[in-house]
Amino acid sequence: MRRSLSIFTGLLLFFTASAQTKLDRPKLVVSIVADQMRWDFLYRYYDRYAAGGGFKRLLSQGFSCENTSINYTPSQTACGHASIFSGSVPGINGITGNEWWDKQAEKYVYSTQDDSVTTVGSTTEFGKMSPRNMLVTTIGDELRLATNFKAKVIGLSLKDRGGILAAGHSANAAYWYDTKTGDWITSSFYMKQLPAWVNEFNAKKLVDKYYQEGWKTLHAPDTYEQKITDGASYGNKTFGVGNHLPYDLSSFIGKRYSFISATPHGNSFTLQMAKAAIQAEQLGADSVTDFLAVSLSSPDYIGHSYGPNSMESEDNYLRLDKDLGDFLNYLDATIGAGQYLLFLSADHGAAHVPAFMKERKIPAGNVNIELLFTELNKLLLDKFKVANLVADFSNYQVSLSHKAIVKGKLNETDIRKFVIDYLSKQQGIATAFDLSALAETTLNATIKNKITNGYFPARSGDIQVIFQPQWIENFELGGTTHGLWNPYDAHIPLIWFGWKIPQGVSGREISITDIAPTVAALLHIQMPNGNVGKVIQEVIK
């Protein structure tokens, strides 16, 4: 009798304790995606990062996954954001590029375009955007579902795709920058009018204040050791107000609002908007976990303009380090140290500028895609007597005009073979092959897997092109780009920080698609419905 009573008492205490125990979650999840940040930038400028800055604090107090890579092609902004937050790849989520050629409609489709919605916050067309082209849920969607839509989810970025694809379909809001007006806007997909706090933020016209400040180096110019030292310039003349730092931007006050994106002020501007969102929306202020997705677009604009071996890129990361340190201090003061979960990653990296590499006797070069496109159609016309048989050459894929082929009663196999033979002979192209025969194509396993993960038949091309290492498309006059499978494009940072995150480092191979399921595991919610990633066990211990 005594033994039965003891068992009953123990069970009663267990169930009582269980009923009283509340699921432990962070108050707020914050994601920071640095657009065009290679992994090595964490260490390339490490000695110059401030002791109280963002990068050293994240590395010393957080958990760094040092061998994180993008597991698909092309490595582009829209694909990166869709994959980080959905745990899926372009072949599943449908975001096969920043834009793609729609085979059926035979027209370009931008990743977030949505002609059924209208701009909210200005009278321009920049707000006709939504996440409808993304076919899967995001971690933000799953958090909303798990909390019966009590959790607030907000995405923001200077680029529409950076805010929209990170936030997901059911987000409370996504905000992006209107380069015509200098204001933050959204679309009718999310709301009918901007909240008062966004209008108040826009009324400050911070962009003009940044223009008045100009772009000066954070430190003395002669201390920038990572810049090109021989006086050569491999960058574009972005502003038209000089060829090198410092840049006087005062002439742009009240106009030319797009130029702010190609300065470090774009990062500051975005993080100020993030602070305003946290305060006004009371993110992390109650018992329900909220999610704020922040994408920093300026590193990408600066990288495309000047390349990684420039004073501009170095100054951008030194200033970003300062901004991130300030933002972490703000989160500590507002949400509470240890009360928020944060991860920092990137949507892609970038190649070195080919002209710079060739001067150092490293194989590199530029492939003129427009020239190849024109030449191909000319040769095809001469041989098959039908014009414009190549409809598009983008995302490192050639799309044929199937309507023209059918109308001309041509043999498509012959056309594909002709295109492949031509492309395979071009300088800088390692190989070209028929995507419909991908499974039978002999390729390195790593490359083949990445192309397979990026292949979505309705939104992908017909013929895949693979460049030789360190060859990039276009950009003959300076600057750089990204999009390939190579480590310089695909090796990205991933650092976890804050709520229940252990301090440590892992060199294990991790994929960009592992981020979303790891967040899901930490929050004890379902992973996104297109997820193919795996939980990073080292982070959740």
Residues with catalytic function: 77
Q: Pseudo-torsion of CA 520, 521, 525, 527, nearest 10°?
A: 50
Q: State the DSSP string of 392-461.
A: EEETTEEEE-HHHHHHTT--HHHHHHHHHHHHHTSTTEEEEEEGGGGGGS---HHHHHHHHHH--GGGS-
d(CA 487, CA 480): 15
> Which of 198, 324, 181, 323 has the alpha carbon at shortest distance from 273?
198
With the C-alpha atoms ordered 118, 121, 123, 126, is the resulting torsion angle positive or negative? negative
> Which of 252, 257, 243 has the alpha carbon at shortest distance from 212?
252
- What is the helix (H) or strand (E) element at residue 290, kind and residue range? strand 290-296
> Which of 278, 328, 295, 326 has the alpha carbon at shortest distance from 27?
278
Q: Other C-beta atoms within 10 Å of 214: how many?
A: 16
Q: State the DSSP string of 89-150.
A: -HHHH---SSEEEETTTTEEEETTB-TTS-EESSSSSTT-B-STT--S--HHHHHHHHTTT-
d(CA 197, CA 505): 40
377 and 371 Cβ atoms separated by less than 8 Å: no
Beta bridge partners, 247, equal 215
d(CA 283, CA 288): 9
Residue at token pair 């080919």: 354
> Which of 236, 143, 128 has the alpha carbon at shortest distance from 187?
128
Could you say which DSSP state residue 70 is in? -
